[in-house]
Amino acid sequence: MFRRIEPSAPEGGPALTFEGREIVFYPGDSLAAALLAAGIGALRQSPVDASPRAPYCMMGVCFECLVEIDGRQNQQACLTPAHDGMVVRRQIGARQLP
Amino acid sequence: MSQGWDAIVIGAGPAGMAAAATLAEGGARALLLDEQAEPGGQIYRAIERNRSNARLSAILGPDYRRGAALVERLRASGACLRFSSSVWRVEPGAAVWSRTNGMATLDRARALVIATGAMERPVPLAGWTLPGVMTVGALQILLKTGGLVPSGRLVLAGTGPLFYLFARQCLDAGVEHLTLLDTAQSGNIPAALPHLPRAFTGQGWRYLAKGAGLLAALSLGRVKLLRGVSEIAIEGEERATAIRFRTGRASHRLGCDLIGLHEGVIPQQQLPRALGCIFDWNEGQSCFQPRRDPWGASTLPGVFIAGDAGGIVGAQASLHEGEAAALAILAELGRITPAARDARLRRVRQARDAHLTARPFLDRLYRPGPGLIAPPDHVTICRCEAVGAGSLRRAVARGALGPSQAKAFLRVGMGPCQGRLCGPSVTGLIARETDRSEAETGYYRIRDPIKPVTVGELARASQPSASHRGD
Ligand code: FES
């Protein structure tokens, strides 16, 4: 879906995991950009009709990029800078109340 | 309660940066808040990081690079900058609740400048919720922030200055398989012509020259461009794989890997609506905008709205609107005399108006077509709650005559985006169905929190420490 203008990220650069898969990213990437660059399609499932959803606006207005980050649900991936060691999962359904 | 600030500016795009810089340069204690991790807004996203990237800077072009000077001015001004900060509640009298890294903070000020900019007009059409469909602005943000370029077969569908600018940037970035589907109606050109003479005055010719240059570059680059496109539908199961559309009587189907949609931009309404500012319908730009006086003051005391958040004016005019609001506040604070304010305001407003001469021409040329406002029944209008145009039409027939009633009937606008992505379509469709104007139909009633906030974050709410304040 996307390629980088720069050569691809160096081995041993910062990395996070998405559903257990290692994703190497560039410093300055938002989490959503890092996942799109890695070819990830859907980031969440609609809690209403279970349809797959992915980042749409990349600027914080559509809320289609909601994911679970380090155990915290419903985080906007397009507004969250990618961090080394982040553990990210798909947001399935609405937020579960603790 | 701390009374830490003279003014709080929300949004670090051109209007907000100019407002905060002008306030701080004039001796006011100014706080600038933005949701992003760096200054620039969407138009100048990642501008500081990209200065050292010659290739990307060249692709993004001179109008983008121009933002660097404003960011430098902001950094030198002494304004306090707080990034990665989402505002979720504002109370009249300028109490601003924000969240930074999971921590809620309350700041107070004598005046508020809302400079939250624009968002892209929602484009409800069949399949627009599929992965692989994004806005053109979103694709451009990926280019600006990560040097990400679409690979595979890219289709851009829509119209407007950003649509053509991004197409050109794709060419320069080496995108090979690009198809442009221009949705502008053929009647737009004759309708726009009466606005053309004025567009050559002031700075307007620059916008026309830029547009002509973009179109020339695209035809030289042999980009596939189809005009008069309508009835777009996107196909796919797990992601978008094809796009169907019509031109005149012919139907087409194109396989594709990525689709960008764009039908112009509209003011972000959430914050001023939650505050209770009065809005008017702008027929020329087909959107609601907050009512303001010539300095940008809203209908609420102490609340200014500058830049695209107040009505679409573009980056350069936004900068001057930010300065105008700051000058009015500086005079209010007694930092400059009314005479000095008026003298400077005259120059600032002249500079702004010079950038608006081409606006009516462009607005008319790229006006969204009727298909966008009244999509077929099976098209999803509210993405969050998965509500289709047909359900909304049936609700109207059963007596939901306004957006707030439709909300009660169907839950439209009650998902996480709080109506940002369906509000304009819901108003437009109800207006059509009931044969009333958008102004009569009105808009959702917006309530805070305008960003989700958890009980835990509220419990950790803190006051800003003295060291955060300007002096
Ligand atoms: S992609 Fe729209 S809010 Fe994140």
- If asked whether residues B69 and B181 sit together in one domain, one would say no
Residue B365 in any domain: the answer is: no
Question: Would you say residue B470 has pLDDT above 90?
Answer: no
Q: CATH number for the domain including B167?
A: 3.50.50.60
Domains held by chain B: number: 3
Q: For strand B287-290 and strand B279-282, is the pairing parallel, antiparallel, or unpaired? A: antiparallel
Give the domain-ending residue among B217, B243, B263.
Answer: B263
Question: Would you say residue B2 has pLDDT above 60?
Answer: no
Tell me the pLDDT band of A56, cut-offs 50, 70 and 90.
very high
- If asked whether residues B271 and B397 sit together in one domain, one would say no
- If asked whether residues B126 and B25 sit together in one domain, one would say no
Tell me the pLDDT band of B266, cut-offs 50, 70 and 90.
very high
Question: Would you say residue B344 has pLDDT above 90?
Answer: yes
Question: Would you say residue B417 has pLDDT above 60?
Answer: yes
Q: Which residues contact B186 (CB under 8 A, 6 or more apart)?
A: B227, B228
Tell me the pLDDT band of B471, cut-offs 50, 70 and 90.
very low
When CB atoms are compared, the residue of B138, B150, B416 closest to A63 is B416
B178-201: average pLDDT: 95
Residue B465 in any domain: the answer is: no
Helix axes B423-434, B389-397, angle to 10 degrees: 50
Q: Using CA atoms in the order A48, B409, A59, B428, what is the torsion angle rounded to 10 degrees?
A: 130
Residue B214 in any domain: the answer is: yes
What are the b/e assignments for B409-429, b being 16+ CB within 10 Å?
bbebbbbbbbbbbbbbbbbbb
- If asked whether residues B73 and B154 sit together in one domain, one would say no
- If asked whether residues B144 and B253 sit together in one domain, one would say yes
Q: Report the amino acid identity of residue B283.
A: E
CA dist., res. A75 & res. B36, Å (int): 14
How far, in Å, is the centroid of ligand 1 from the Cα of B153? 23
Percent of chain A surpassing pLDDT 90: 80
Of residues B470 and B136, which shows the higher confidence score? B136
- If asked whether residues B85 and B24 sit together in one domain, one would say yes
Give the domain-ending residue among B280, B308, B336.
Answer: B336
B321-329: average pLDDT: 98
Query: What is the predicted pLDDT for the residue at B461?
Result: 66
B283-293: average pLDDT: 96
Residue B470 in any domain: the answer is: no
Look-up of token digits 């797990």:
B238
Query: What is the predicted pLDDT for the residue at B466?
Result: 34
CA dist., res. B212 & res. B3, Å (int): 51
Tokens of B394: 């049936």
Is residue A9 less than 8 Å (CB to CB) from chain B? no
- How many CB atoms are closer than 10 A to CB A19? 11
Average pLDDT of chain B is: 94
A80-92: average pLDDT: 95
Query: What is the predicted pLDDT for the residue at B465?
Result: 40
Range of the structural domain that residue B407 is part of: 374-441
When CB atoms are compared, the residue of B37, B42, B147 closest to A4 is B147
User: Facing residues of B262 across strands?
Assistant: B158
* Yes or no, beta carbons of A57 and B138 under 8 Å apart: yes
A50-60: average pLDDT: 97
Q: Which tens digits make up the pLDDT trace of B13-70?
A: 999 999 999 999 999 999 999 999 999 999 999 999 999 999 999 999 999 999 999 9
Residue B302 in any domain: the answer is: yes
Give B310-326 as a DSSP string: GS---HHHHHHHHHHHH
Of residues B60 and B463, which shows the higher confidence score? B60
How far, in Å, is the centroid of ligand 1 from the Cα of B229? 27
Q: Which tens digits make up the pLDDT trace of B349-404?
A: 999 999 999 999 999 999 998 878 889 999 999 999 999 999 999 999 999 999 99
From chain A, the residues in CB contact with B384 under 8 A are 46, 48, 63
Question: Would you say residue B3 has pLDDT above 60?
Answer: no
Tell me the pLDDT band of A90, cut-offs 50, 70 and 90.
very high
The helix (H) or strand (E) run that includes residue B168 is: helix B161-172
- If asked whether residues B128 and B250 sit together in one domain, one would say yes
Q: Which tens digits make up the pLDDT trace of B67-100?
A: 999 999 999 999 999 999 999 999 988 899 999 9
Tokens of B157: 């569908």
- How many CB atoms are closer than 10 A to CB B142? 26
Look-up of token digits 């031109």:
B247
Give chain A as a DSSP string: -EEESSPPPPTTS-EEEETTEEEE--TT-BHHHHHHHTT---SEE-TTT--EE--SSSSSSS-TTEEEETTEEEEETTTSB--TT-EEEEEESSPPP-
Find the residue in A nearest to B35 (Cα): A79
Give the domain-ending residue among B285, B313, B336.
Answer: B336
Of residues B376 and B220, which shows the higher confidence score? B376
Question: Would you say residue A39 has pLDDT above 70?
Answer: yes
From chain A, the residues in CB contact with B86 under 8 A are 60, 79
Query: What is the predicted pLDDT for the residue at A8?
Result: 67
When CB atoms are compared, the residue of A28, A51, A66 closest to B416 is A66
B448-470: average pLDDT: 65
- If asked whether residues B127 and B255 sit together in one domain, one would say yes
- If asked whether residues B102 and B147 sit together in one domain, one would say no
The helix (H) or strand (E) run that includes residue B49 is: helix B47-50
Is residue A10 less than 8 Å (CB to CB) from chain B? no
Residue B192 in any domain: the answer is: yes
Percent of chain B surpassing pLDDT 70: 97
Query: What is the predicted pLDDT for the residue at B4?
Result: 84
- If asked whether residues B228 and B151 sit together in one domain, one would say yes
B174-199: average pLDDT: 95
Question: Would you say residue B285 has pLDDT above 60?
Answer: yes
Q: CATH number for the domain including B435?
A: 1.10.10.1100
Residue B308 in any domain: the answer is: yes
Could you give the 3-state DSSP secondary structure of residue B36? Answer: coil
Residue B448 in any domain: the answer is: no
Structural domains in chain A plus CATH codes = 15-92 (3.10.20.440)
- If asked whether residues B115 and B128 sit together in one domain, one would say no
Of residues B93 and B414, which shows the higher confidence score? B414
Measured from CB, residues less than 6 Å from any atom of ligand 1 are: A 32, 55-58, 60-65, 76, 78
- If asked whether residues B144 and B256 sit together in one domain, one would say yes
Q: What is the pTM of this model?
A: 0.96
Residue B32's nearest CA partner among B143, B128, B132, B116 is B116
CA dist., res. B209 & res. B206, Å (int): 5
CB B292 within 8 A of CB B305: yes
CB A60 within 8 A of CB A79: yes
Main-chain phi, psi angles of B98, to 5 degrees: -135, 170
CA dist., res. B8 & res. B5, Å (int): 7
